[in-house]
Structure 1
Amino acid sequence: MHPHYLCQAIADTPRVAVYGTLKQGFNNAHWLNGATLLGSDITSALTLYDIGRYPGAKWQPSKGVMIEVYEISIAQLAQLDRLEDYRADAPTAGEYDRQQITTCFGLAWVYLYNPSVTGKTAISEGGWHMPSISNVQQPR
């Protein structure tokens, strides 16, 4: 059985908007296996930041960044919350917060990056591109 907050979240908004490694063709796309891709959209409400191995989004105006919108289940939302380190009891304490964004498919959940992006490269138009393996900094 899923926690009440997940049941309420999926009842309110059964969609998620993704902008990085969860998009088709990227290394975390498998987390959305079984979800229904509704399509792509462009949002000017977010600016992406290149964090290195993945991007982070902030509520900052942009020229338009590309997102994919999926219809998801409660189980998929729970998995995404774990992947993104979303903490329902303290949303700003995890790596990402989950909030709603308006898309052409209706409201969707989007994961917003909590840490500072000072010194990170902003992506205010288009989308994030996965770095090649040789450019990825390995964990210490």
Structure 2
Amino acid sequence: MKVIVYGSLRRKQGNSRWMTAAQLLGKYDLEGYEMYNLCYYPAVIPGKGLIHCEVYRIDSATLTELDELKNSPEAYRRKLLKTPFGRAWIYLYCLNVVGLPRIRSGDWLKRNEEVGQIVKKDVPP
């Protein structure tokens, strides 16, 4: 089975240790989704954007661990999507994102760059 990761589970991110038994299949840009900043990790919902992801081959034990990591059934749900690497699970956020900062680039790794740009735009000359 496969999983799509887009935030703290990506390589060199805070929760990447959960993916140590996984095999990276490749990068993937997923259209039709938007990313929001929840501070330590992102929320992804269906929308009009694009998100930068990694697709991994995982075993059932890793999927069980990821389900436990996303242990709040009211906050996340798993959905099976087509990718160039075959069908893969993605964790989608189910709670309201109103008021959360959107990561317009769709790239969790660039979230701090966007914050800097927003702050610069909001500062009067």
Please say whether Structure 1 and Structure 2 have the same fold, judged by a TM-score greater than 0.5: yes
Residue equivalent to 1:134: none
Conserved 8 A contact 2:36-2:43: yes
Corresponding residue for 2:95? Answer: 115
String of CA shifts for 1:17-60, please: whole Å, max 9, x gaps: 00000000001001011111001010112111111111010011
- The one-letter amino acid paired with 1:66 is H
Structure 2 alignment gaps of length 5 or more: 113-125
**What CA RMSD, in Å, does the superposition of the two structures yield over aligned residues?**
1.5
Distance in 2 between the 1:86 and 1:71 partners? Answer: 23
CA contact (8 A) 1:86 1:98 kept: no
Q: 1:100 to 1:124 in 2, by over 3 A?
A: farther
What corresponds to 1:5 in structure 2? none
Matched with 2:82 is: 102
CA distance in 1, matches of 2:27, 2:42: 18
TM-score by length of 1: 0.74
**Equivalent residue number for residue 44 of structure 1:** 31
Deviations 1:84-121 (A, max 9, x none): 1154xxxxx2x211111221111110000111100011
Structure 1, unaligned runs of 5 or more: 1-13, 88-92, 132-140
2:3 equivalent in structure 1: 16
- Inter-partner Cα distance in structure 1 for 2:82 and 2:72: 20
- TM-score of the aligned structures, taking structure 2 as reference length: 0.82
Pairing 1:50-129 to 2, within 5 Å after superposition: 50-62=37-49, 64-85=50-71, 87=73, 93=74, 95-129=75-109
